[in-house]
Amino acid sequence: MSLFDIDNRGRQLKGWINKLIWGDNKLILSSLKNGPLYEEIEKQGGLKLIHIDPPFDVGVDFSIDIEIGCDTFTKKSNGLEEIAYLDIWVRARIP
């Protein structure tokens, strides 16, 4: 027994649920306004919240320095990992 009616790929067949969309922010926002989800979004009363996880529009990958004992190692992300980042505003406040 399932809480929602789903198809053989695990997608919900009807009703609205929260959605996590992973992709390019500009493309996703454009598709929400002009794409195939627009009609469904409007039918449900519009969007209530969009959270965009920064960094965005910077055009670079980030790495992180990891301190182990007295040594510091630089961990660079590879194509199979999610990109790690440090918040520039936090670093700017720390002397």
Q: What is the pLDDT of residues 52-83, one digit of tens each?
A: 776 655 666 666 677 778 887 776 665 545 44
Residue 79, amino acid: G
Q: How much of the chain is in helix, strand and coil states, percent to nearest 5? A: 25, 15, 60
Q: What is the pLDDT of residues 19-37, one digit of tens each?
A: 777 777 788 888 888 887 7
- pTM score > 0.75 for this model? no
Kind and range of the H or E run holding 75: strand 71-76
What six digits make up the tokens of 64?
């992180």
- Whole-number Å distance between alpha carbons of 35 and 20: 16
- pLDDT category at 87 given cuts 50, 70, 90 is very low
